[in-house]
């Protein structure tokens, strides 16, 4: 019996050292500690399955760490008709979490680029937003990461990203400002250098 336990322990230790991550049991135990710390009893009926549920929810909230935006953007199409105008995907809804409070950030992103030779499937732009959203974030960093990933992978003439979001760490706690939102932008290439291009993009952003 003790040798079986010992073997399971070894497997668990090996898994941890392989991935550098705590395993599910550690995470559930941490959530039980948090529930106890709030003053409630993690063993009572209504809460007994909560740590496992929260762990699964966190797997979904933070699924973006296992995904590489460069891989998502790698599959491109050659432009055969010489299209070199602005491509804009508007109002991409996302849910993220702030890295200061783990509180939700709920918002929309407008992502634009002017290609130089190759375009990417439009759903891929939404996927890149999602990958960065499903990590611990600050909005300014997320805005830059999305623009930089498109710039580095597609090498277009320019990229523009605007994000507008409400931060639950401001709306449901702290200063309690439910009606505020934060707008951030990053303009690269011709979106930064050419005022007309930037204006054309801004005119398509209904925020
Ligand atoms: Zn926060």
For residues 191 and 65, give the distance between their C-alpha atoms in angstroms, rounded to a whole number: 29
- Which range is least confidently modeled, 21-30, 125-134, 173-182? 173-182
Span 132-147, mean pLDDT?
Answer: 98
Residues measured by CB to lie within 5 Å of ligand 1, the ion: 98, 100-101, 169
pLDDT in tens, 66-88: 999 999 999 887 776 778 899 99
For residues 43 and 66, give the distance between their C-alpha atoms in angstroms, rounded to a whole number: 32
Confidence at 1, pLDDT banded by 50, 70, 90: very low
The pTM score is: 0.87
Ligand 1 center from residue 42 Cα (angstroms) = 26
Which residues does the annotation mark as catalytic? 98-101, 139, 167, 169
Ligand 1 center from residue 103 Cα (angstroms) = 6
Confidence at 19, pLDDT banded by 50, 70, 90: low
- Which range is least confidently modeled, 19-23, 49-53, 115-119? 19-23
**Residue closest to 74 by CA, chosen among 152, 130, 147:** 152
Is the distance from CB of 135 to CB of 66 less than 8 angstroms?
no
Ligand 1 center from residue 102 Cα (angstroms) = 7
For residues 140 and 17, give the distance between their C-alpha atoms in angstroms, rounded to a whole number: 33
């Amino acid at each position: 019996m003790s040798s079986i336990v010992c073997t399971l322990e070894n497997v668990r230790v090996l898994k941890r050292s392989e991935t550098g991550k705590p395993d599910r049991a550690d995470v559930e135990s941490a959530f039980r500690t948090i529930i106890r710390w709030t003053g409630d009893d993690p063993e009572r009926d209504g809460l007994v399955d909560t740590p496992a549920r929260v762990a699964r929810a966190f797997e979904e909230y933070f699924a973006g760490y296992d995904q590489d935006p460069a891989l998502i953007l790698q599959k491109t199409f050659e432009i055969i008709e010489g299209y070199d105008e602005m491509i804009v995907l508007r109002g991409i809804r996302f849910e993220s979490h702030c890295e200061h409070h783990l509180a939700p950030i709920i918002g929309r992103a407008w992502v634009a680029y002017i290609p130089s030779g190759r375009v990417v499937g439009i759903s891929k732009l939404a996927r890149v937003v999602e990958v960065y959203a499903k990590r611990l974030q600050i909005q300014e960093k997320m805005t830059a990461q999305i623009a930089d990933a498109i710039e580095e992978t597609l090498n277009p003439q320019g990229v523009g990203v605007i994000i507008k979001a409400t931060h639950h760490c401001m709306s449901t706690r702290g200063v309690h400002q439910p009606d505020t939102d934060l707008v951030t932008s990053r303009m690269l290439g011709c979106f930064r250098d050419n005022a007309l291009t930037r204006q054309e993009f801004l005119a398509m952003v209904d925020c």
